[in-house]
Every structure is written in structure tokens, then in C-alpha cells.
Amino acid sequence: TGPPPTAPQSTGPPPTAPQSTGPPPTAPPPDRIVDDPQSTGPPPTAPPPDRIVDDPQSTGPPPTAPPPDRIVDDPQSTGPPPTAPQSTGPPPTAPPPDRISLTRLPKENLLMILSYLGLDDLYRISRVSRMFLNLTHDPSLNARVNLQPWFLNLDDRSLGYFMSRSRVLRRLNLSWLGISNRVSFARVRELLGHCGALVELRLSGCSAVDAETIRCIGSRCIHLEILDLSYVSPGLLLPLARLSSCYRLSYLDITRVMTTTSELSILLLSLVHLKWFIGGSPILLVQQNQLLEIMATTAASIKCLDLWHWDTLTAEGLRYFLSLHGRDMVELNLGWCTRLSNPDVLEEITEFCPKLEVLVLTSLKEVDMETFIALSRGCPKLRLVDLTAARTICREGVEHLLQHCKDLEILDVSYCGGISLDDITQLAAHYPSVRIKSFEKFVAKSVVVS
């Protein structure tokens, strides 16, 4: 019945919380952040970017910037603006583009690319696939074929490669073919027999041309406009009259071709469109005045006439021709025409050829001051003048020609005894735009170098 028992009274100091001497407790894991405004310890670390918690009461450093795809704007933050993380590794590679196949390009683009390839490269690419084989047979890639660079390697078998393409050929160069004796006459005739669309054929120096080849050209290549037969098959007599069906010819080169006057006369009678005739060093052509007269009366307008070494041509025949065609001529070669007298030749040239640009008068023996005055007045458009072996040439005449022919580019005075090497050197220095050629000057330079 007495009073209830009371708790025992402690007389000592009140108990205190146990003090820990170790490191402060670590922050809880990021997924269980607990805000404690009364805590005096270090602020908790920032949560991961996907669970950022803004705490405006926090006095610690601002949280680090989240990744660029989840930026969180904090207008209360006083620290530096967050920056995107800098990668120290190589930049990320772009995604692979769609695969581009040549077969998906338009045909026009492929043909343009193939047009930059040489003949040997076209042959190699034609073996890649059927598509490229068909492309290499396109007429635009086979209209012009030049086999001259491979004349040593060509044989009958390699010529057969062009048989399937020959029908679309427009321009063909077989110069120097047959020198290695690996190509037969029959193979060349077979190839030309399929080239009915040719407008240009060059056979310069070709040894695989005979009389039957000329007949084949005349019967199959009737659309020819350019024909080069210079130096073909030395020693073989060629029937040029069989080319009369090629009446569209505007360019004909028969330098050093062995033929007769009657054969060439028949051919010239059919060439009404002839403009360029090169017939240097003729063989078996005796009546040269007659040939020049036929050419003058048949052709409508001749611009180039090369009569190198026509040793039976006279001034009367030349005058008749120049009186009909001299107004249109731009090139005239009378080198080594020994039957032409100097005064008559220069008189006709200066009278009838005002548009002349190229003049070759090699072996013109007598050239005086009046010759150069007449040339500079009558032919002011001269670009090339060849006076090789003009023994009576003088410096004053050459200088007069250089002063009045403003378009002059080349002047050949080799073997001219009337002008010294010092004169040539001084004139070349005074007229640097003109190339003054001299064999003596070349020899002098060779001696100095050696």
C-alpha cells in the first residue's frame, strides 16, 4: 500500500551519444538518397544522370552535367554552365553508305568513263563481264581506232579482234603496219573490206598494201574523205585509178608512191572536193604540168599544194594553177623544183597568194632584197618561210621580212651563205617571237657543249 516505486535517480552526468573516431559514414546508394538538412557532414554525391534530384538547399558543389541527351536546366545554379563530355578517342565513323554498283549507273555515264581508256585497256575490261563486253562494242567507242603505237606487236590474229567492230569504224590508222612481217596482205584486205563506213584511212609507211588492197579500198571504202598513202609498200606499182570511186576525198597524200601519170590523172579527174594534195617526191610521174592542169580544172578549191621535188614542173604550169586557186591557198611547197626560175616563181606567188601562211622555197638559188620586199607585201600573213640553201640571201632582206610579217613564227635560213652566224644571233635576239632556224647555229652550239 505504499507509494509506487520510482526510477532510480542517477547522480552522475547525463549519458552522451557514443562518439565515433572513424571516418564519417558514407552516403547511401544513389537509388535511396535521403535529404537531411540538419546534417553537417559532406553533401551526398550526385545521383546518376537518369535520377537527378534538385536540392535548392544544398550548399555543396553543383551536380555534374547530365549527358547531352538529358540536359536539365537549373536557373538557380551559380556555377559554370555544364559542358558536353569531351571524347578523347577517334571520332565516330559515319554509317556505311549504300553500296554503289557500276551496273546501276546509266549507260551514258559508263560510256563516258570508258571513252578515257586506251585501246589496250578497253580490250582488258571487255573480258570482265558480258555487260562490259557489250559496252566496248558501242559505236561511240569504236568510231576512231589508232593502231600505229602497236605496229610491232600486231599480227593477223590481233587484227581479227577488230573484225566485229569494223562496221562502225569511222577513222582508222594502220600506219607502219607490216614492218615486222607479221601481218599478211590478205588480212589487211579482209579488215578493210568490212570498213564500209570509213571517212579517214591512214596507211603511211604500211608495208601490207598491194594492188589488191588499193582495189579493195576503192570498192569498199567509198565514203573516204582523208586518205594517206605516203611511203606505202616501196617498190610496188599501185593502181591509183581504182580509187576514182572515192570522189569525196578532200585530203590525199601520195608522197613517194610509185604510180604512173595516167593512173594519177584518172584519179584527179574524179576528185572534185580535193583541198589538200601532198605529192612530194613522185616516182614515174613525168608529165607534171599536165597533172597540175587537171587538178586546177577539176578541184573546186585547193588550200594546200605540196610539190616537193617535182623536177619537171615549169613556171607556166604553176602560173596557170595559181591563177585559179591562189586566192584560197594557205600552204605551198615548191622545194627542189629545179625547173622553176626564181623571178617568175616569186612574181606568181606574190600576185596570186595573199592568204599564204606556209611557204617552202628550198634551193631557191637567187634571193635578193627585192624578193623579201615582194614577199612581205604580197603575203603579209606568212607564219613559216623556208629559204634553205638560198645562197644569195642578205641580212637586210631577212630583217625586212621580220619587220613586215607580224605573224611570222619560223624562218629557216640554213645553208644560206649570204648571212653569217653573228647576223642570225643578233636577229634572233631582236625578234624573240620568231624562231630563226640555222644548221650552222646548231653545229656551233654542239661544238660549244662538247
End-to-end CA distance of the chain: 151
Give dist(CA 302, CA 85) in Å, integer.
82
Give alpha helix (H) positions in 196-306: 211-220, 261-270, 288-298
Q: What is the DSSP letter of 76?
A: T
Q: What was the pLDDT predicted at 363?
A: 85
CA distance 340 to 289: 12
User: What was the pLDDT predicted at 271?
Assistant: 97
Three cell numbers written together for 370: 627585192
Neighbours of 127 (CB within 10 A): 9
Residues listed for the chain: 450
Q: Which residue has the cell 584511212?
A: 201
CA-to-CA dists, residue 305 to 79, 133, 255, 261, 328, angstroms: 94, 45, 12, 18, 11
In this prediction, residue 72 carries a pLDDT of 46
Phi/psi region, residue 92 (left: phi>0; alpha: psi -120 to 50; beta: rest), is beta
- Cell numbers placing 44: 551526398
Give the pLDDT confidence score for residue 372 in this predicted structure: 81
Contact 405, 434 (CB under 8 A): no
CA–CA dist 145, 169 (Å, integer): 7
Radius of gyration of the chain (CA): 47
Going residue by residue through the chain, which has 450 residues, state the pLDDT in tens, using 9 for 90 and above: 455 555 545 455 555 555 555 555 555 555 444 445 455 555 555 555 444 444 555 555 555 555 554 444 555 556 666 665 665 766 666 555 566 677 788 999 999 999 999 888 988 998 899 999 899 888 888 889 999 999 999 999 988 888 877 888 999 999 999 988 899 999 999 999 999 999 999 999 999 999 999 999 999 999 999 999 999 999 899 999 999 999 999 999 999 999 999 999 999 999 999 999 999 999 889 899 999 999 999 999 999 999 999 999 998 999 999 999 999 999 999 999 988 866 778 888 988 999 999 999 998 777 777 878 888 889 999 999 999 988 778 888 899 999 999 999 999 999 888 888 899 999 999 999 999 998 865 544 443 333
Q: Rounded to the nearest 10 degrees, what angle do helices 342-352 and 369-378 cross at?
A: 20
- Would you state the pLDDT for residue 448? 38
CA atoms within 13 A on the CB side of 184: 6
Decide if 339 contacts 311 (C-beta within 8 A): yes
Amino acid at 303: K
331: left (phi over 0), alpha (psi -120 to 50) or beta: beta
**What's the pLDDT score for residue 204?**
97
Record the pTM: 0.74
